[in-house]
């Protein structure tokens, strides 16, 4: 098995950052290491233990380049629209949060320019299409694959890999399906995870909103 970094489970959970600028674009990621991470990903839960997930690993330079180009085009649109979904953009006036958002956008732009060069990509897919599915179905569908994706990223962190969860290429999901030969009508892509070794392995805990702003016990005790 690959040598693991000396990190506790809590440290892995707290320091698995979206790695973009600190990605080592020149060091290939061994298939063996990717397989180890995927073996762990398959330990994740899925609704009714269906395990009806598919993971497409992309290391072929031409395919990465083609997906990278789609991603960059999508990122351009995203920037122009100031974020596709208002809920994913911070619109408050806390200078620290605004500063953080600025940094994320700068880092995201950097990855967008170089997406086609990342050492590996992971495209997780779930069965069927959820277009217009009711919440009970959509939650089961996405909930049956997204935990596995995060497990993959955590397993990568423990092995010195840096990942970034991305979704923007889904603006062009059908074109991406054609590049990878994914049967578009039968399988929905849920993300494009960039993968590479990190430059250095020391990553910090992120600054997040205080727990009280996101958690209440025994009922909804929030202002919104």
Contacting residues toward ligand FMN, per CB under 6 A: 17-18, 104, 108, 111, 164-168, 206
Residues 6+ apart with CB under 8 A from 4: 158, 159
> Cβ closer to ligand FMN: 144 or 166?
166
Residue that the structure tokens 């997040």 belong to = 208
Least distance (Å) from ligand FMN to the CB of residue 10? 15
Least distance (Å) from ligand FMN to the CB of residue 157? 11
Least distance (Å) from ligand FMN to the CB of residue 206? 4
Rounded Cα distance, 58 and 75, in Å: 20
> The tokens of 85 are what?
């979904």
> Cβ closer to ligand FMN: 4 or 104?
104
> Cβ closer to ligand FMN: 165 or 184?
165
Residue that the structure tokens 């967008």 belong to = 112
Measured CA to CA in angstroms, residue 212 lies from 30, 209, 216, 217 at distances of: 42, 8, 7, 10
Least distance (Å) from ligand FMN to the CB of residue 18? 4
> Cβ closer to ligand FMN: 164 or 189?
164
């Amino acid at each position: 098995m690959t040598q693991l970094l000396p990190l506790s489970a809590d440290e892995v959970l707290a320091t698995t950052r979206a790695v973009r600028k600190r990605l080592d674009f020149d060091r290939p990621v061994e298939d063996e290491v990717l397989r180890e991470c995927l073996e762990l990903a398959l330990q994740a839960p899925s609704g009714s233990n269906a395990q009806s997930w598919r993971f497409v690993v992309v290391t072929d330079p031409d395919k990465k380049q083609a997906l990278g180009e789609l991603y960059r085009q999508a990122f351009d649109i995203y920037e122009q629209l100031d974020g596709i979904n208002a809920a994913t953009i911070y619109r408050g006036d806390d200078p620290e949060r605004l500063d953080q958002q600025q940094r994320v956008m700068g880092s995201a732009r950097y990855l967008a320019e170089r997406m086609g060069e990342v050492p590996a990509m992971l495209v997780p897919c779930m069965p069927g299409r959820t277009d217009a599915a009711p919440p009970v179905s959509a939650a089961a569908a996405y909930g049956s694959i997204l935990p596995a994706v995060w497990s993959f990223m955590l397993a990568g962190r423990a092995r010195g890999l840096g990942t970034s969860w991305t979704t923007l290429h889904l603006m062009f999901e059908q074109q991406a399906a054609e590049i990878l030969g994914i049967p578009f009508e039968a399988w929905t892509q849920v993300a494009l995870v960039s993968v590479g070794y990190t430059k250095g392995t020391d990553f910090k805990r992120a600054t997040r909103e205080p727990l009280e702003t996101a958690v209440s016990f025994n009922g909804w005790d929030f202002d919104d």
